[in-house]
Chain A
């Protein structure tokens, strides 16, 4: 039984600067392809820095992404954070609930380990 997490995509400084440098360049690509996990959750689930995981959303949409540890006080356990980009977009569904805005924060996802990081 996979645990459910709540994904919060958001703006980060690197992602913002990366937009200006160019979306195909390193700064942007690194920022938007890196999923932050709370250290307590990583420990509990036996995850390490750089592990590759699969996130699956409520309608079956899924992505693969590498993880990094969040700073201890910054991300509560049970939450995941990633900078806005292709990964977070893939987890949005087409439904805007009549508002024009797809649910872009607070998506419920399951997380499973795919591949341990090669050191």
Chain B
């Protein structure tokens, strides 16, 4: 198994004191995956990241060489070999091993992680399950009408945001893709577009919008269903709509008129739908609405994916197992069930008895019952920095940062695959290196001879 692409565009060592410039570098902090960043590198620091947004700059400028051991076992420095051995032992001795995370790893490393899970008959889940997993479930129900981001820039004249705050989560979204670009069919850029923002609070993104609609919290489903009814010409009781959604009926009818009249409508949606009451039902409502709108005009929907390569994780897990996340291999073959095999559940229900977290921080982001259980089982953590998760891991690897030290492939939020152009090498191993070594040992222990 040789995933050669990690070596494509390998970083060149820096000449001490000299500046080096990397063109067309890819930022992987959020799902925008901007590949037009110009990095200025001095020794082992990035000192400038031209065109990067505030989040991207923080990403590039704060990742240099971590002054930590590459490997810690039980909280003490250890050699990498000791770490690999111990990791393989942990993963092959449990009855219900889980592997979680992957959204900030390149595809080449993700593929090794899926391999390991296959050999140990474990469960693999990605951060999708606590991000747009519900949207993935909705898509399995109704499908999705969508497009690539360049198509939004070229044609989208009505841009809606629902439960998403790009000003703070995807700062270049408006300028690079959705509002400002002078598109092939929208030569006047912003002037050719109308922007509508729907949210429960007036976020910083509202400044970019022409129309802001503040809905009642936890009533997104009702609001979307109202729009579906209007799209289909079904009569509604205006007072009921107002009470349920917190928004006057005329606001919805006006919005639907605009939606029907546009040439190419786009709805971006975010955690405001997936994380609140309704979850996948909310996502399903917005995907169904988009589909319904295609009876009137061209209309697409796009989930705003949060992390640099969570879309890659969806793709890798899907092509190798047939399912996007929450995939269990206890019977030797892949089975899929959100709510059962997803990590919030395998931890909160105390089912996992060992595991590995890769490029994620469940000890910061998961519920209390899940965190308590994770802290009580042996697991391996791979991360570029010290986090609450690495602090309680039995084996913690400090890994090189993808897109900064190591190369590989990532998928932008619209499934476009993009290569990384790393800036400077790191003495720490990459995710790919660590996982490959662990896989070797796992195979040896289990008698797997697959090449």
Contacts and interface: CB of A to CB of B under 8 A. Distances in A.
Contacts of A20: 29, 55, 58-59, 61-63
Highest count of chain B CB atoms <10 Å: which of A13, A23, A96: A96
B394 interface: no
A22 B384 CA distance: 10
Given A22-B385, A94-B344, A100 B130 contact: yes
Contact of A92 (B361, B368, B388): B368
A8 B361 CA distance: 20
B361 A23 contact: yes
B370 A94 contact: yes
B345 A16 contact: no
A96 B345 contact: yes
A113 interface: no
B169 A76 contact: no
Contacts, number: 158
Interface residues of B, number: 60
A8 B217 contact: yes
Nearest to A15: B168
A101 interface: yes
Contacts of B203: 10, 74
Contacts of B276: 103-106
Interface stretch (B81-89, B267-275, B292-300): B267-275
Contacts of A94: 344-345, 348-349, 367-370
A96 B339 contact: yes
A17 B30 CA distance: 11
B271 A10 contact: yes
Interface of A: 6, 8, 10-13, 16-18, 20-24, 61, 73-76, 79, 81, 84-86, 89-90, 92-106
Question: A-B pairs with the 9 shortest C-beta distances?
Answer: A100-B342, A94-B348, A98-B339, A17-B58, A94-B369, A106-B276, A100-B338, A104-B275, A92-B367
21 contacts: A13-B171, A16-B29, A16-B30, A22-B385, A23-B387, A75-B202, A79-B201, A79-B217, A85-B365, A89-B365, A93-B369, A94-B344, A94-B368, A94-B370, A95-B348, A96-B342, A99-B280, A100-B325, A100-B339, A103-B276, A106-B200
Interface of B: 29-30, 54-55, 58-59, 61-63, 125, 129-130, 133-134, 137, 165, 168-169, 171, 200-204, 214, 217-218, 271-272, 274-277, 279-280, 306, 325-326, 338-340, 342-345, 348-349, 361, 364-371, 385-388
